[in-house]
Amino acid sequence: MTMLRVMAGYDGSIAAGEAIGVAARLLPRAHAWISYLWVPPFADEAMRRRLWHGTSRVDEFVAAVEREGSAEAARIAGMGAALAGAAGWEAETLVERGYGGEGAQLAELAEKLEPDLLVLGSRGLGGAHAVLGSVSDMAVHYAPRPALVVPHPLLVDEHATVADGPVLVGWDGSAGARQALTVAQSLFDGRRILLAAVHDGVPTEPPPADCELLTVDRPAGRPAGRGVAEALARLAADQQAAVVVVGSRGCSAIREILLGSVAMATLHHVSRPVLVVPHHLQPGAPGATDRIEITFVPAQVVAGIRERVAPADLEAFFARTIPVVAAALTRVGAAPAGPPTAVYSHEERQAFDVTVGFPVESEPPDAAGLSIEHLPAGRVVRAEHNGPYSSLPATYAALASWFAGHARTPPRVMWEEYLIGPQEAEESRYRTRIVYPLL
């Protein structure tokens, strides 16, 4: 199992320490960057007062603040790393100097480090005391990664649900909600997932068949965002949820379900950890084309025919194999659950081991002589190519540049999904998705 990579903002406060502890109970196997932002005035008041009286010139005072403030920042980050280590994470410290705007700077740091998750503590102020524009608000707003915000304080019964309580995912059928569900399934694998639909007079898109859906009415007389947040809070309490997951955008301006006002209202009105998932996760490296994206995908089972094939023979291999696989699946009563897919592995001497077939809901009881590939859930980098197969190398070159720019090595197993192919359109309209798991 790949270890989760977490970036936790830490400022020495009780709220930040509790966020680390709660996140480690929710996600017990992780490597964490404990990130401390060293910002003006670069040392606490007591330290600055002592240094002011102990120096005779301004330049000496400035140098002393730099020296002592830097040491203080390292100590605070070390305290956070010690908390993370005691909670079971592998931890290292990261001290970054800044000049204010901590929330935006944390988001920028998350863009640089590309963690699977950003963890933040919040004072948990709600109602008239909610401070929009706080560090956690700003970090969530700008972060390109999923962000887990842990309110402080949590009550005893709320703490008790963290270890094994279900995960409540806000649901309206939108792309944002679907992305939130995919991320929740990946991060909280093995936990019970509940979908929560808040009725507001507009029909809700149906959920995936294997998901449990709960419905609740939005409180009357409340603004859309706050009304949805309060309904989610009530459901979370009723179900003793460990965490509430919301996407950052909804499918309609009427509801705004799972974004903007709803996501922020959920942060301020749900007294449980809240995971906010951006609809579009972090794009590729600077300079890469906008066709490249990082996202989370669910696990897939692909049934097909496996052979060792030279690149020049791939098109002919696909043409003769796909109809055979489709017929074999029909014989055993299994229907394709997605577009034709080719899984590549073990490139040697200008040839690949290739399995060409279709995703299926589950491995057929009788595989009918087909090979089975299990594609893992988790984070991937992918690019969608539009046009003939002969121009695919340009997209592969862009992905190679992405890997080089991020000091990563492409994995030995990857796959292509043929969204539109020869049976459906002319060459100029082919759509091929190239997917690399990020291990």
As given in the structure block, the two tokens for residue 291 are: 């066709």
Choice between 47 and 416, residue whose per-residue pLDDT is larger:
416
- Distance between CA atoms of 83 and 85, rounded to whole angstroms? 5
Cβ(107)–Cβ(138) below 8 Å: yes
Cβ(48)–Cβ(66) below 8 Å: no
Cβ(207)–Cβ(169) below 8 Å: no
In the predicted structure, residue 74 carries a pLDDT above the cut 60? yes
**Over the stretch 119-175, which tens digit does the pLDDT of each residue have?**
999 864 343 333 334 777 778 877 778 999 999 889 999 999 998 999 999 988 877
Give the CA-trace dihedral at 311, 316, 318, 321, to 10 degrees: -130
CATH number of 1-135: 3.40.50.620
For the chain, helix, strand, coil in percent to 5 are: 35, 30, 35
Contacts of 260 (CB under 8 A, 6+ apart): 225, 248, 249
CA distances from 12 to 17, 27, 282, 352 (A): 7, 21, 28, 52
Residues of CATH 3.20.80.10 domain(s) within the chain?
292-437
**Closest among 248, 282, 253 to 180, alpha carbons compared:** 248
Residues of CATH 3.40.50.620 domain(s) within the chain?
1-135, 154-282
Predicted local distance difference test score (pLDDT) of residue 307: 93
With residue 437 as reference, give the H or E element that holds it. Answer: strand 431-437
Assigned architecture for domain 292-437: Alpha-Beta Barrel (3.20)
CA–chain centroid gap for 111, Å, is: 12
Predicted local distance difference test score (pLDDT) of residue 249: 55
Residue with tokens 């490139």: 347
- Residue 254: which pLDDT band, with cuts at 50, 70 and 90? very low
Q: What class does CATH assign to 154-282?
A: alpha beta
**Closest among 111, 68, 80 to 14, alpha carbons compared:** 80
The amino acid at residue 259 is: L
Predicted local distance difference test score (pLDDT) of residue 392: 84
As given in the structure block, the two tokens for residue 282 are: 């972090």
Instruction: Cite the beta strand spans of 280-331 per DSSP E.
Output: 292-297, 300-309
